[in-house]
Amino acid sequence: MVLPGIQALFGFQLIAVFSPAFDDKLGPAEQRLHLAAIALIAVAIALVMAPAAYHRQTGSEQVTETFIRLSTRLVLWSMVPLAISICLDFYLIARIVLESNLAALLSAALVCVFGLFWFVLPRARALQHLVGRQE
């Protein structure tokens, strides 16, 4: 479910480079920042696709507990470069649109949103569930 979204984002990131506005509105440092965002998306794609490659090569006939643990970890790890990439590109777009330092503040807020919903909330719910079971 995550992979098509990541691939679409990757495609849009690649297309942006060929736009005339890419050279006009982004300086060399910002273009490198966009390249870093593209690299992070590529890493996220590799991590999300790794379980399928691993499963096909190590035993497509069975789903082991080890495979499930590995797959879960890989998808979880992919969320970090994905969030950073989205925030970097958001920063670049916000900087072009707003033409102010507010872009950095908004990007930092977006990092917090990803952190809250992708990491803090699930762990808080898991902890709450665990504490509820122990009572």
- Mean pLDDT across the stretch 103-129? 94
More confident residue, 5 or 42: 42
Tokens of 12: 């849009």
φ, ψ for residue 75 (rounded to 5)? Answer: -65, -40
- Read off the pLDDT of residues 17-66 as tens digits, 9 standing for 90 and up: 888 888 888 999 999 999 999 999 999 999 999 998 888 888 777 888 98
According to DSSP, residue 99 is labeled: -
Domain boundaries, the chain: 2-134
**Whole-prediction pTM:** 0.85
Question: How much of the chain exceeds pLDDT 70, in percent?
Answer: 99
Report the C-alpha gap between 103 and 91 in whole angstroms.
6
C-alpha 112: how far from its chain's center?
13
- Is 91 exposed, middle or buried (CB count within 10 Å of its CB: 0-12, 13-18, 19+)? buried
- Asked whether residue 1 carries a pLDDT value surpassing 70, the answer given is no
